[in-house]
Amino acid sequence: MADQIPQKTSKRSAKLASIPLSVAGRGALGFGKQLIGQSPDFAFADLQEKTAEQVFKVLGELKGGAMKFGQALSVFEAALPEEIAKPYRETLVKLQESAPPLPARVVHKVLAKELGEDWRDNFSEFNDTPAASASIGQVHKGVWKDGRHVAVKVQYPGAAEALISDLNQIQRFAKIFQLVMPGLEMKPLLEELRARIIEEVDYRYEAQAQEACWNAFENDPDIAIPKVVHATDRVLISEWLEGKPLAKVIANGTQEERNNAGIRLARFHFTAPTRAGLLHADPHPGNFRVLADGRLGVLDFGACNRLPNGFPEPFKRLLRNALEGDAIALYNGFKEDGFILADVDVDPQLVLDYLLPLVEPLRTEYFAYTREWLREQSVRVGDPRNPTAKIGFQLNLPPEYVLIHRVTLGTTGIFCQLRAEGNFRDEALSWFPEITPTHLQTTLAQ
């Protein structure tokens, strides 16, 4: 299998190399449309859509690092038309669900290398059929030698090498991604994504994050983290969390179950940076399950944002400015913290108008998340004909905020899938009183 890696990497590189060629042709096409009289805004929007479609199509067809990068890049889907974003999401889901499992003999070989030739002595039972698979590894269920049921995460041979090769290729295309999101400084953003994604193949690093969260949430009434049993570079063994997958709660849970899952998910993301110095940065339904006692179980700590001092103070200050409705303070903060680049000049009120609906759940005492609301927001911020939407294309995302942004959008998507309802405002303000707008301070104090 290791012999196949250079060949597979070469094929991936060829697919990735197809992106700039396609975009060059589309750039000429967009210029041609301007020459024959079509509005430059519409010509650019058309080029943007077609570029995004090609980028996402190629990334969606790949596994390994390119697929992981595609998943990370998907945080920007809200700025894209649904007809592009939807097929891309579906492609990624299909790839995750259809990833062919490693043969048992290959799994055994990895376990022997990582745990020793007598690896079976560590288990009283080991199921050769994987319970789950992903882009760089798969999970097997077993029983540890002390009787604990465990999840055994085994990394695909060659996954780390292929991942790094893919990401090195993708970094070359910073200017191409700039066409999709022209307001962003793409080079430092891609470097940050690359660094965070590479961390995901280091299972010892992942184990440290998981242990930190387990310690922080031990005996918590709302959140359950599986305890790490053993870790090596390519194998991570944790206690098995038995529960109802969040996808099933989304599909057929009662309103009460969906509301409870939503508020617990919010609580986990609001509090983990303060309690554990970490933000779990891979929010999708497959990483969560509801336990029999109602707690939310959290899995897979490969992607984590290290925040030893909790959420950054500028993030909280800017959120407060948005909730306060202070357009000037918000604009000045955006400039100061790099969300608006120095050479970009935009209307402060339009910046506030762009953001206010996105923070609506924290502005009302009771909020009901729906897919329809999310679609409305996607259309609102993705239509280049909308003056407010154009602001989104002019905003920058500083690298240190990329995972916070990913978690915010990903978690919002889960809330909408759950159709969760509740008082998310007071939940947030109870953990971050410093973001409380002036008009609520007296009310909440009472």
The Cα-based distances of 437 to 295, 299, 354, 424 in angstroms read 31, 34, 19, 15
What is the number of structural domains in the chain? 2
Closest residue by Cα to residue 166 from 17, 372, 307: 17
| Residue that finishes a domain, picked among 130, 155, 183 | 183
Average pLDDT of the chain to the nearest whole number = 79
Q: Any idea which residue has 């959140």 for tokens?
A: 223
pLDDT tens per residue across span 138-184: 999 999 999 999 999 999 887 777 777 666 666 665 565 555 555 56
Closest residue by Cα to residue 243 from 152, 151, 154, 135: 151
Say how many C-beta atoms besides its own lie within 10 A of residue 180's C-beta.
Answer: 24
Inform me whether the pLDDT recorded for 42 exceeds 90. Answer: no
- For 328, the domain range is 313-445
214 within a domain of the structure (yes/no) = no
Q: What is the pLDDT of residue 228?
A: 98
Least confident of 69-78, 189-198, 238-247, 335-344: 69-78
- pLDDT band at residue 264 under the 50/70/90 scheme: very high
Inform me whether the pLDDT recorded for 186 exceeds 70. Answer: no
123 within a domain of the structure (yes/no) = no
| Residue that finishes a domain, picked among 160, 183, 206 | 183
141 within a domain of the structure (yes/no) = no
Residue 126 near residue 140 (C-beta atoms within 8 A):
yes
Q: Please check whether residues 31 and 179 belong to one and the same domain.
A: yes
- pLDDT band at residue 300 under the 50/70/90 scheme: very high
441 within a domain of the structure (yes/no) = yes
- pLDDT band at residue 52 under the 50/70/90 scheme: very low
137 within a domain of the structure (yes/no) = no
pLDDT tens per residue across span 347-392: 999 999 888 888 999 999 999 999 889 888 877 776 667 777 778 7
b/e for 297-326, b at 16 or more Cβ within 10 A? bbbbbbbbbbbeebbbebbebbbbbbbbeb
Q: What is the pLDDT of residue 195?
A: 77
Closest residue by Cα to residue 326 from 199, 438, 208, 445: 438
Select the more confidently predicted residue: 250 or 31.
250
Q: Please check whether residues 178 and 35 belong to one and the same domain.
A: yes
Gyration radius of the chain's alpha carbons: 23
Q: What is the pLDDT of residue 82?
A: 55
Mean pLDDT of 186-214: 84
161 within a domain of the structure (yes/no) = no
pLDDT tens per residue across span 67-109: 555 555 544 444 445 555 565 555 555 544 445 678 899 999 9
Q: What is the pLDDT of residue 28?
A: 34
What is d(CA 136, CA 202) in angstroms, rounded to the nearest whole number? 11
Residue 298 near residue 280 (C-beta atoms within 8 A):
yes
86 within a domain of the structure (yes/no) = yes
Select the more confidently predicted residue: 321 or 384.
321
What is d(CA 412, CA 326) in angstroms, rounded to the nearest whole number? 24
Q: What is the pLDDT of residue 30?
A: 34
Q: What is the pLDDT of residue 27?
A: 36
Mean pLDDT of 238-245: 96
| Residue that finishes a domain, picked among 149, 183, 217 | 183
41 within a domain of the structure (yes/no) = yes
Q: What is the pLDDT of residue 16?
A: 46
Q: What is the pLDDT of residue 103?
A: 86
Q: What is the pLDDT of residue 439?
A: 76
Q: What amino acid is encoded at 11 in this protein?
A: K
Closest residue by Cα to residue 52 from 68, 25, 74: 74
Q: What is the pLDDT of residue 75?
A: 44
Inform me whether the pLDDT recorded for 5 exceeds 50. Answer: no
The Cα-based distances of 406 to 279, 303, 337, 383, 398 in angstroms read 11, 11, 18, 21, 13
